[in-house]
Amino acid sequence: MGSHPKPQILFSREEIEAAVTTLATKINNDYRGKNPILIGVLKGAFVFMADLIRHLDFSPEVEFVRASSYGRGTESLGKVKIVHGLRSPIEGRDVLVIDDIVDTGRTQAYLLDYLRKKRPASLKLCSLTDKPSRRKVPITIDYLGLTVPNKFIVGYGIDWDEKFRNLPDICFVETED
């Protein structure tokens, strides 16, 4: 494996913290008196979800799914499959999906369809970041933190080739494409 270029900071940890706090405030207001299930989309969402739930003033149930949409490197293959499905029923439940980034939208389109078939009472999407310049499938992001430019994003859970998930800031790396 070759060397990776040095990531440059796009959003600092302080800017991320502010975005997470703002999102949590909205979610606290909207889900007051409800008992939602938060479903994190592995792997990338694990850092964001860990921070987000610690800002919630209710105690959410937490589940995880894992969808696979990328090969190695930076290009989406355009195919999605569920590689770790839900282990708990969500019929009649308020469901909030938590993801780290919406890029082409294919993962979320597929995943939301998968979850909708399980007949939740409500189904919403919270994504820390959005890269609208790459969208191939229309997606409504009910709770959005930060919009990112058309650069390769890493850090705060997001990888490049399984690297850089541990960076505390949201960064970009210069790539050929």
Residues making contact with ligand PRP (CB under 6 A) = 41-44, 68-70, 76, 99-107, 159
CB 116 within 8 Å of CB 97 = no
Say how far apart CA 154 and CA 172 lie, in whole Å.
Answer: 6
Name the residue nearer to ligand PRP (CB basis): 94 or 99.
Answer: 99
Of the candidates 94, 100, 103, 130, the residue annotated as catalytic is 103
Task: HSE, CB side, 13 Å, CA atoms: give it for residue 126.
Answer: 24
For residue 109, how many other CB atoms are within 10 A of its CB?
A: 16
In the complex, what is the shortest distance from the CB of residue 126 to ligand PRP, in angstroms, rounded to a whole number?
A: 12
CB 101 within 8 Å of CB 129 = yes
Name the residue nearer to ligand PRP (CB basis): 2 or 138.
Answer: 138
Say how far apart CA 91 and CA 30 lie, in whole Å.
Answer: 20
Name the residue nearer to ligand PRP (CB basis): 57 or 75.
Answer: 75
Q: Which two tokens stand for residue 7?
A: 């990531």
In the complex, what is the shortest distance from the CB of residue 117 to ligand PRP, in angstroms, rounded to a whole number?
A: 19
In the complex, what is the shortest distance from the CB of residue 68 to ligand PRP, in angstroms, rounded to a whole number?
A: 6
In the complex, what is the shortest distance from the CB of residue 64 to ligand PRP, in angstroms, rounded to a whole number?
A: 11
DSSP class of residue 8 equals E
Name the residue nearer to ligand PRP (CB basis): 93 or 106.
Answer: 106
Active site residue 161: no
What is the DSSP track for 48-85?
HHHHHHTT-SS--EEEEEEEEEE-SSS-EEEEEEEEE-
Q: Which two tokens stand for residue 166?
A: 């541990």
> Helix, strand or coil for residue 160?
strand
**Residues involved in catalysis:** 103
